[in-house]
Amino acid sequence: MLTIAGKNFTSRLFLGTGKFPSASSMKESIDASKTEMVTVALRRVDLSNPEDDIMSVLDQNRYLFLPNTSGARNSDEAIRLAHLARAASGSNWLKLEVTPDPRTLLPDPCETLIATEKLVKEGFIVLPYMNADPILALKLQDIGAAAVMPLGSPIGTNLGILTSFQIEIIIEQARVPVVVDAGIGAPSHASQAMEMGADAVLVNTAIAIAGDPVAMARAFAQAVQAGRTAFEAGMGRRSQQAEASSPTSGYPSEDLAFMD
């Protein structure tokens, strides 16, 4: 059972709600994933089409809404979005995302730290999106982040876990849950993160732009379960040297030259 800020989650797969081909596709994918937490963004109402409302499709009683501060380029902008999110949702939960460079969408570590500290003091439950920097992860935990969310690779790239060396260190040193977020492009990537000991993963693009998002959501749910089960089962050690799987004695032959 995964617990973040005192809330229990049965599913270790969190979903983003962006980029789906339709509202119904998004809703069915979310259901197929069995996720219990979804991210949402904050944007202007389209006054030429004010009825367009994601909340009407998603049932807030079934999953926790995690507003993100996507679009924020610095801590001030992120804090403004955080206040708007809380006013709109009535919830303290927040995915803190501070990304000054639209080409890479990499998170600014300094602004993320500043915003996390301020928002934690204001009572927000902050889940900061961060580059896979073990030192930064510890600093965020020290100032009260409810979890840390290191990236596998940049948002939307589907490149998988390019930061495994650092994520392993983060997991080893973590005192709060570690949610690998961004760049997970295939169920195998999600399994890999879970096998490493991640507490959860957050996936958006890989599901939303799949040929069949609903089927892909199901695949990801299975992959996350497989990876977690494997982690809990205790992965076998790796070896540089081949070690036979079949017995090295008792082979029925006169010629034993090749046996040990």
State how far the Cα of 48 lies from the Cα of 185, in Å rounded to an integer.
Answer: 35
Distances (CA, A) of 58 to 10, 179, 182, 188, 213: 19, 23, 22, 28, 16
Q: What are phi and psi of 246, to 5 degrees?
A: -105, 160
Q: State the nearest-atom distance from the C-beta of 128 to other proteins, in Å.
A: 15
Token output for 152: 């596998």
Cβ 194 to other proteins, closest distance in Å?
Answer: 19
CB of 249 closer than 8 Å to CB of 256:
no
Chain contacts with other proteins (rule: CB under 8 A): 16-20, 26, 39-45, 47, 50-51, 53-56, 65, 67-68, 70, 83-84, 87-89, 155-156, 182, 202, 204-205
Q: Which is nearer to other proteins, 91 or 226 (CB)?
A: 91
Query: Rounded to a whole number, what is the distance in angstroms from the first to the last CA of the chain?
Result: 47
Toward other proteins, which CB reaches closer, 184 or 223? 184
Minimum distance, C-beta of residue 39 to other proteins, in the bound complex (Å): 6
Answer yes or no: 95 catalytic: yes
For residue 179, the minimal CB distance to other proteins (Å) is 13
Closer to other proteins at the Cβ: 118 or 226?
118
Q: How far is the CB of 244 from other proteins (least distance, A)?
A: 46
User: Which residue in 72, 87, 184 sits closest to 128, CA to CA?
Assistant: 72
Catalytic residue, chosen from 19, 27, 34, 95, is 95
Residues present in the chain in total: 260
Cβ distance 78 to 114 under 8 Å? no
Helix, strand or coil, per DSSP, at residue 114 = helix
Nearer to other proteins, 129 or 134 (CB): 129
The rounded distance, in Å, linking the Cα atoms of 101 and 106 is 7
In terms of CB distance, is 197 or 201 closer to other proteins? 201
Query: Active-site positions?
Result: 95
